[in-house]
Structure 1
Amino acid sequence: MVSAIVVAGGRGKRMGTVQSKQYLNLNGKPILYYTIKSFLNCKLVDNIILVVPFHEIDYCKNEILNKNFIKVNKIIAGGSERYESVYNGLMAAEGSDIVLIHDGVRPFVSEKLINDSIMYAKRYGAAAPGVMPKDTIKVIDKNRFSIQTPNRSELVSVQTPQAFRYDLIYECHKKIKNEDVEITDDTMVAEYFGNNVYIYEGEYSNIKITTPEDLIIGEYLANK
């Protein structure tokens, strides 16, 4: 069984909005609508688990899901940190063979990326899409002076869905709670305990909507 955990606990700080960014509209529909629809349309996904802040559960059910006629198998409360929300989602996905973990504000994930993530997770145990940065990347010191220019061909900007064998990522998340380490994504959780993560070709259109500029691009992609 393949389960998709959609983590939608973001706030509107960088967006500059009071409303949580996953509920902002693109072409008349909430961002979260497009995200969930992508997984609903994928025949290889059996189960969708939506993770939102506890105080937003009723709003999400009534104003986002019901009003837009989209269904998820489970909607559960997240934690104060992203890794806690993912762990809650993993517990709700018990019995899965493969689990996909996806940002709720990446609404334009393609069916190909979802299918590829499942295929590579089955093959390697852990996988994520990534794209080469378009800009030159610099390493800076505390005074903001450039100290190093990494080789761009060796860098990737990692996206979601990040896909794993369920037992692998569940055990890693269960153990990471007792570690004093800052976690930025789920591939990092897997790698921390010695697991290799296969990075496959992502898509530049698979954007994460975080800033007002991203909304402009999102409107264009939604219209397409």
Structure 2
Amino acid sequence: MGLLLIEEERRSVEGEGICAAIIVAAGQGKRMGGKTRKQFLMLEGKEILAHTVERFEQFSKIKEIVLVTGQDDIECIKEMARNYGWKKISAVVCGGKERQDSVKCGLKALSLSSEIVLIHDGVRPFVKEDMINRSIDAARIFDGCVLGVPAKDTIKICDKDGMVVETPERSKLWHIQTPQTFSRKLIEKAYEKAEKDGFIGTDDASVAEFYGAKIKVIQGSYQNIKITTREDILVGACFLEEERE
């Protein structure tokens, strides 16, 4: 597969039933502050997005990567791909107004032979190969699979005035992560139904649930964080140092 083969129509990639990753990096990163979007902030000398992409470049079961970003960042990411020597990027496409729109753009750019799709946050750079392998295995059995970790803290449901309405049982609560993994055919149909019915989900799994899919949660990692604030960058630097040791 060549580097950055960006075309109008979806291509056929050598081999059948391949596993593909859609990495979504179209966010504005408003909670981070500053002018640089968070996916391009530096973490230990490398862009956060670069750390994320290189994980998937190294995972043997991933044969194709589609990157979704903002229109203004497409050329920047193409240049990053060339500089870092990424080999699995099949397309870099412009996302939409909402994350859900961006994922739809990524799905349209997949090769014709992609069978299993992993949808991942571009600013979640600490995913491990074991998580990927287990996610793919689960997606071949269930309608879909998401990574998650049990909630450590008590969660309160509050009304608009901040008054507690309910305290859910903590043992049933999970913090959901990415990648979220599905049969390509199922998640495409789920997004088609969501668009037709005007449904906006909070993540890909909620779109699949709206379609009627049964989603399996499997164990992720408390290190598989989404870098959202500057404090997360400090934590991420510690994780990288731990990996080096």
Asked if TM exceeds 0.5, the reply is: yes
Query: How far apart in 2 are the matches of 1:60 and 1:101?
Result: 18
Between 47-56 and 64-73, report the one with greater CA deviation. Answer: 64-73
1:1-224 paired onto structure 2 within 5 Å: 1-62=18-79, 64-71=80-87, 72-93=89-110, 94-224=112-242
1:36-95 Cα shifts (integer Å, max 9, x gaps)? 111111111111111111121001111x32233334221111111111111111111133
Query: How far apart in 2 are the matches of 1:157 and 1:122?
Result: 23
Query: How far apart in 1 are the matches of 2:203 and 2:97?
Result: 15
Query: How far apart in 2 are the matches of 1:60 and 1:104?
Result: 12
Counterpart of 2:138, as a letter, is Y
Query: How far apart in 1 are the matches of 2:99 and 2:165?
Result: 31
1:163-195 Cα shifts (integer Å, max 9, x gaps)? 000100011112211223332110001000111
Counterpart of 1:43, as a letter, is S
Number of equivalences? 223
Counterpart of 1:112, as a letter, is D
Secondary structure of the structure 2 residue equivalent to 1:123: coil
Secondary structure of the structure 2 residue equivalent to 1:134: coil
Kept in 2, the 8 Å contact 1:33–1:70? The answer is no
Kept in 2, the 8 Å contact 1:27–1:223? The answer is no
Q: In structure 1, list runs of 5 or more residues that go unmatched.
A: none
| Deviation beyond 3 Å, 4+ runs, structure 1 | none
Counterpart of 1:162, as a letter, is Q
Over the matched positions of the two proteins, sequence identity in percent amounts to: 42
Kept in 2, the 8 Å contact 1:12–1:18? The answer is no
